[in-house]
A = this chain, B = another copy of it.
């Protein structure tokens, strides 16, 4: 199963932005570098394409995905829906060991807070994946993992430089709500938390994407027709 290794290598490279969005991914170049044949590279690329991390155009090869803002919003919406379910499922069912593990993780996040921005983002992402795993629902965990990956890619493109720090306090509140067993409150907290991540990190929600609207002010400024 060396195909899996290739998959993981590419995936990691993309998420760490060693391969930046839009970059071409020729099968034989990758195969050369990784010491495997095109067959395995192809398999890995196909898999990454299904997860939305690479785009795969017929006869034109693969490239690192470059999601549009609309796709970005869609991914975050789905993520909110899924993690809401995580919160509901977990509410009141957290073992002590699990709660401790989460608390320990949050302490790590706090330690990395001002220190290392990159590390901070990684840890914040891991927190959500830990939660999903704790549900014991493998399908749910896989989906959360998948949308989380896509979110990382999206933040790499559209995220503001330093504002994508998943507020540590919000994680703490969430754990508390889960322990108290208040499913509704936990789900709402999760929802608002993720919504906050979007609004903190993502470019402001421009719903109009019509070029004419964008060019309007410039037309007026140059004394051209504004109608």
Which residues of A line the B interface, CB within 8 A?
1, 39, 43, 46-47, 50, 52, 58, 71, 74-75, 77-78, 80-82, 84-85, 89, 137-140, 143, 147, 150
Contact = CB atoms under 8 A, between A and B. Distances in A.
A77 B89 CA distance: 9
B78 A140 contact: yes
B77 A85 contact: yes
B1 A139 contact: no
A143 B78 contact: yes
A138 B46 contact: no
Nearest to A51: B50
Query: Assembly of this chain: how many copies?
Result: 2
Nearest to A49: B47
Most-contacted residue by chain B among A75, A81, A138 (CB, 10 A):
A81
Contact of A81 (B46, B58, B71, B81): B81
How would you classify the secondary structure of chain A's contact residues: helix, strand, loop or mixed?
helix
Contacts of A84: 81
A85 B47 CA distance: 26
A74 B138 contact: yes
A76 to B, nearest CB: 10
A52 B139 contact: yes
Contact of A50 (B47, B77, B78, B140): B47
A77 B47 contact: no
Contacts of A80: 85
A50 B44 CA distance: 12
Contacts of A52: 139
B1 A71 contact: no
A137 B74 contact: yes
Contact of A137 (B43, B77, B85, B150): B77
A78 B47 contact: no
12 contacts: A1-B58, A52-B139, A71-B139, A74-B138, A75-B139, A77-B137, A77-B140, A81-B81, A81-B82, A81-B84, A81-B140, A82-B82
Nearest to A147: B139
Given A78-B139, A139-B147, 18 more contacts: A1-B58, A39-B39, A46-B47, A71-B139, A74-B138, A74-B139, A74-B140, A75-B139, A77-B89, A78-B85, A78-B137, A78-B140, A80-B85, A81-B84, A81-B85, A81-B140, A139-B150, A143-B143
